[in-house]
Amino acid sequence: MIERLSLVQLDALREIGTIGAGRAATALADLIGTKVEIDVPQVRILPIENVSSILGDPERMFFVLDMELLGEIRGRIFLLFSPEHAKVLSASLLGKKSDEIRFDDEMVQSTLKESANILSGSFLTALVEMTNINIMSSVPLLAMDMIGAVLDFIFIQIAQYTQEVFFIKTDMKVTDVNLEGFFLLFPQDESLRKILSALGVRE
């Protein structure tokens, strides 16, 4: 477990989040054909037991895109959107209205997975460039579930190999609609140490 991060380490991680968010906005804008704005993201490293405090009501429904980290860094990535925001994002990408979106539509599911690839890829690319570590992710799995079920999975499965979460909260504006997304990176403890070491900052 990482006992404590220095301000320099936290600043380096925040820079990765900010660069990744900017690239994600550009990539989504190119895909949609309209301007996408992303606020400076909130970036934190938290003990895994604190995840429940940032995700809120355990009965709240979320679309969860789940990816495995591959390459030199091992762990898991979760990208979470509320169903309402997932509809807006899918509608923007498909050129439809939000009320035309049906989540059992394979095209909608494919669009959400592509969005996950773009968003996670933007953050991972920033991380790769700043650390020179080979990092890849698997094809995303898509599910819709209550936060309580997501937390159960995190505490039972992921907590076996990590005690930390790299948390990025992004607020996007697509076609004047505000979208809130949560990016949760769970690197294995040894992988987080490798990332911090590669950033070249010490306590």
pLDDT band at 90 (very low <50, low <70, confident <90, very high): confident
Decide yes or no: CATH 3.40.1550.10 for domain 7-198: yes
Q: Is the pTM of this model over 0.75?
A: yes
Q: CA 65 to CA 80: how far, in whole Å?
A: 6
- What is the reported pLDDT for 28? 79
Reference 39, options 153, 149, 179, 141; nearest CA is 179
For residue 203, pLDDT over 70 is answered with: no
Q: Which residue has the higher pLDDT, 153 or 170?
A: 153
Q: Which residues pair with 182 in a beta bridge?
A: 80, 169
| Token pair of 22 as six digits | 């900017």
Token reading at 44: 């934190």
Q: Average model confidence (pLDDT) for the chain?
A: 83
Q: What is the CA radius of gyration of the chain?
A: 16
pLDDT in tens, 97-133: 888 888 888 898 888 888 888 888 888 888 888 888 9
Domain boundaries, the chain: 7-198
Residue 170 has pLDDT above 50, yes or no: yes
